[in-house]
Amino acid sequence: MSDDVRDLALELRRHLAWQESDGTRVLLKEPAALRTVSVPPERSRGSTATAPAPKVEAPSVIVPGETLDEVRRELGECTRCKLCNGRTQIVFGSGNPRAELVFVGEGPGEEEDKQGIPFVGAAGQLLTKMIEAMKFSRDTVYICNVVKCRPPGNRNPEPEEIQSCEPFLRAQLRVIKPRVIVALGKFASQTLLREDTAITRLRGQWRKYEGIDLMPTFHPAYLLRSPDEKKKAWMDLQEVMKRLGTK
Ligand code: URA
């Protein structure tokens, strides 16, 4: 596709997105990779698994893109939320754009913010070991986060920050179309499943995300603090291997 045609296509998609966000029905047929992402009006993203659901506006957001590069281009030098103020760089994601297996974490930490690559700090080293124990490598899977910019001091991402960034995560998953998603911890699980059930209850149970098998499990940072829970996480990952036929 020439640059002019691509620009035109992007412009048209933005226009359709705008129309839809206004509630106008779009009569043109949508390409497969251009779907509306509706965020439900009530979201739960409290600092504990049982915290009440904070109320957040519910816009419809479409992130256009047939490839990860296009999604990344659409994200641009993002200033959609205040996390842009403290970041060194955006941490979009890394790995195989055609991965069968995608890991979704919470948000970049200090080291990820420095390097621009997800999961390269202490929790990342554990995640790398987990991936290798599953007989995959970081190059064969895809790794990304709910929010693409580091929350200051590694605090939890806030509901508005998640809401701004979530359409890009959804676009990444729509483009990659993995067979299995592993949601690492509460934020990834609750964001993708759009529910506020505690991670201790969600983990280990197969769920569906847009028709894709999703396994919630503990976040590696939690496993570093609670090594006794590694057994449960390993059980979850073995279920994933079975589902992918690699066990
Ligand atoms: N924790 C996350 O959730 N993501 C990272 O990229 C690093 C640590």
Pocket of ligand 1 (CB under 6 A): 105-109, 112, 118-119, 121, 123-124, 145, 221
CA distance 131 to 93: 16
pTM over 0.85: no
Q: Which of 119, 128, 148, 219 to mutate to test the pocket of ligand 1 (most atoms within 8 A of CB)?
A: 119
Poorest-confidence range of 61-70, 81-90, 210-219?
Answer: 61-70
Instruction: Retrieve residue 69's tokens.
Output: 């590069």
27 CA → ligand 1 middle, Å = 40
| pLDDT tens by residue, 103-156 | 999 999 999 999 999 999 999 999 999 999 999 999 999 999 999 999 999 999
pLDDT score at 60? 59
CATH number (3.90.45.10, 3.40.470.10, 3.90.550.10, 3.30.230.10) of 68-244 reads: 3.40.470.10
108 CA → ligand 1 middle, Å = 5
Cβ distance 13 to 53 under 8 Å?
no
- In sequence order, which ranges of the chain are alpha helices (DSSP H)? 3-21, 68-75, 110-115, 122-133, 159-176, 185-193, 199-202, 220-225, 230-244
Domain ranges of the chain: 1-60, 68-244
245, with CB counted inside 10 A (0-12, 13-18, 19+), is exposed
Helix (H/G/I), strand (E/B), else coil: 214: strand
Q: Comparing C-alpha atoms, which of 50, 61, 64 is closest to residue 167?
A: 61
Q: Which of 102, 128, 145 to mutate to test the pocket of ligand 1 (most atoms within 8 A of CB)?
A: 145
Instruction: Retrieve residue 95's tokens.
Output: 């790995």
